[in-house]
Chain A
Amino acid sequence: MDGPILEVRGVTVSYKLGGLFSRRILTVLNGITLGIRENEVLGLIGESGCGKTTLGKVIAGLIKPAAGRVEYRGKDVWSMGKEEFSEFRRSVQYLHQDPYSSLNPVQTVYTILSRPLLKFKLADRSNVGEAVMKLLEAVGLTPPQDFIRRYPHQLSGGQRQRVALARIMSVKPKVLVADEPVSMVDASQKIEILNLLLKLREETRTAVVYITHDLATLRYVSREGRVAVMYLGKIVELANVDRVVEKALHPYTQTLLNALLEPDPKLTRTKQVKLRSLDVQSLLNPPPGCRFNPRCPLSVSGLCDVVEPNLIEVYPDHRVACHLVKG
């Protein structure tokens, strides 16, 4: 496999809380290192507050990390010149969770789709109309004439997400960060949007970073891709999606798998979640040692609550951060 097209190295993101003289620091990402390979699907999975969205935004260059580097094709993104940075911005796109607030409400679909084409000189005044029509057709908004004059409020959630997707794919990105793209779309539209994403990905060979808390959907989108399981600002397990589903090693990943509700009454009721504590620890005051230890059913006192485990490769292409896992 080729080297990564985009890489984050030792990235830390933290926010200062409270007033001017406050010293409370909230560290939402803590020393994350992760590479995105060309044309792969990489899932970021975890509960809310684990930092998956923040990591997605760091990857897309929307948040500047407090420490660490983000490299696109080997170049540090945050020391790029203006033109280079603009090219990076085009190449790495972000699909928002909420299509109700990601489209400008006072612009028509035509304006929304034609602007990026003109900005990046992918079309000129003479053929931009035709290009917009083609885009709408590609995302299944047909006939396109019916849609170009509409405003976002005249579209359903699913249709808006299609417009957002069309806008992103129009600039031919190399990496697409998709943050729970179907969580706000009606049930009947979800699968169509996912299938559309898969189809566009296949055609354009774009790498996708798929952020979700739903492993079943991720497996559907990801197929042979990798998954990074996140907990309280750290990656705790990183492996191929099949390995994560069939042979998860980290107790937290196993918890997530057991917690997933499956549309199969007999199967889902045999799966039990057993945790020492139901509450997620606060990022403001992360527990010493392994961050999962206060909830972990296997936690060993004197080890897990003292020493922080590193993410180590226990099998080829399977990394785990847990003291109890040996290769």
Chain B
Amino acid sequence: MSEEVLRIRNLRVVYSSRRGYVNALRKVDLEVKGNEVLGIVGESGSGKTTLALTIIRQLPSNSKILSGSILFNEGGELVDLLRVDYQEFRRFLWSRISYVPQGAMNSFNPVSKIKEHFIETAKAHYPNMGKQEILSRAEELLKVMLLDPKRVLESYPHQLSGGMRQRTLISLALLLNPKVVIMDEPTSSLDVVSQKVILQDLRRVLREFDVAVAVITHDMGVVAEVADRVAVMYAGNVVEVGHVEDVFYNPLHPYTQGLMAAVPKLRDREGKLISIPGSPPDLVNPPRGCSFHPRCPIAAEICRTTEPQPTELSRGRSVSCFKWNRGGT
């Protein structure tokens, strides 16, 4: 869990809208390390899905990448995913990077059996791969996800429950041995029990396969359950990065602190939850200086005029805030 598989630098993405350019990603720097689970957490509109779509080059046509690079570690050689030819990039998808969009368990083709999804996916990349070879790999993956492989492969999507489809989808994403899997809200449409069980399994599966996972979510519980490291996004920036325990037990950015104070805890009988005042900024006209300053309880003069840069405090721990060391409680 040391070597980087993905290194994102200086990434800026805008969407054009009738009101002007929406600054969806504003200078994002982030790494995904081999065999880790990175939790990317933020409110809706913070840019987390845009980040995923940029990595897999599926941004909508009204978007523009203003700057940046996404370096993929291809056996020691760094390939900039934003600059490789699109035909070549398509080969990267599924075999190096796979993406599980939100609610994707509902996007299986309803008239194809599950096994056809596996075969079609593999054939698209390796036309010479035999059916038996594909299916035995699929069976192995489904077994790891605690499903009955024979039954699932012969089923149509509607014959499986939501949780089973989600497990099938994770298996499908791992079919071609990718190095990175990006999952957008992987469990948001599942019931509490399936959610917990799938997340438990996800961590176990990662230890068996050499794969890194970036989990995009707004749910602090999901991050606490699966992530090794956490990146907190706000208004198109990554405002804090660190090991999961550091971020949860000692959040440094006032926004992260606000998020933590707003999550109900089962064992907390008396506490009153406090939401962060105000609402996220308009990204057509983001505020000057730190984008969080209008809502920040400790904002100072410098926060209104200058944009804070990520400051590395220790290895793998960084925060974009001028006041982080006075922000503690």
Contacts and interface: CB of A to CB of B under 8 A. Distances in A.
Contacts of A20: none
Contact of A194 (B265, B269, B273): B273
A190 B245 contact: no
A47 interface: yes
B267 A245 contact: yes
B57 to A, nearest CB: 28
Interface string A180-222: 0000001111111011000000000000000001111101100
A189 B278 CA distance: 9
Given A261-B196, A273-B193, A187 B218 contact: yes
A269 B268 CA distance: 18
B311 interface: no
A245 B221 CA distance: 17
Nearest to B262: A191
Nearest to A274: B197
Contact of A213 (B191, B220, B266, B272): B191
B275 A261 contact: no
A243 to B, nearest CB: 12
A298 to B, nearest CB: 16
B193 A262 contact: no
A46 to B, nearest CB: 9
A42 to B, nearest CB: 18
Interface string B56-83: 0000000000000000000000000000
A268 B224 contact: yes
Contacts of A245: 266-267
Interface string A235-279: 000000010010000000001111111111110110111010011
Contact of A258 (B146, B196, B220, B244): B196
Chain B interface residue number, banded: 35 or more
Given A258-B196, A266-B245, A186 B265 contact: no
A280 interface: yes
Contacts of B264: 214, 216-217, 219-220
A255 B275 contact: no
Contacts of A192: 275
Contacts of B298: none
A192 B279 CA distance: 12
Contacts of A223: 269
Contact of A188 (B192, B225, B280): B280
Contact of B266 (A48, A195, A255, A257): A257
A262 B43 contact: no
Nearest to B280: A188
Contact of A279 (B44, B164, B195, B269): B164
Nearest to A157: B44
Contact of B196 (A189, A219, A273): A273
Interface residues of A, number: 43
Contacts of A219: 264, 266, 268-269
Given A47-B192, A261-B225, A215 B200 contact: no
A261 B224 contact: yes
A187 B43 CA distance: 6
Nearest to B279: A188
Contacts of B280: 188
Contacts of B219: 261
Interface string B190-225: 011111110110000000000000000011111111
Given A187-B43, A215-B266, A220-B264, A262 B221 contact: yes
Contacts of B1: none
B275 A191 contact: yes
Interface string A150-164: 000000100000000
19 contacts: A187-B262, A188-B43, A188-B276, A191-B275, A214-B264, A219-B269, A245-B267, A257-B266, A260-B192, A261-B199, A261-B221, A262-B265, A263-B265, A265-B244, A268-B224, A273-B196, A275-B193, A278-B146, A278-B193
The 3 closest A-B pairs by CB, nearest first: A261-B221, A259-B196, A191-B275
Given A190-B275, A261-B199, A273-B197, 11 more contacts: A156-B279, A188-B262, A188-B276, A188-B279, A216-B266, A262-B265, A263-B263, A268-B225, A278-B163, A278-B164, A279-B163
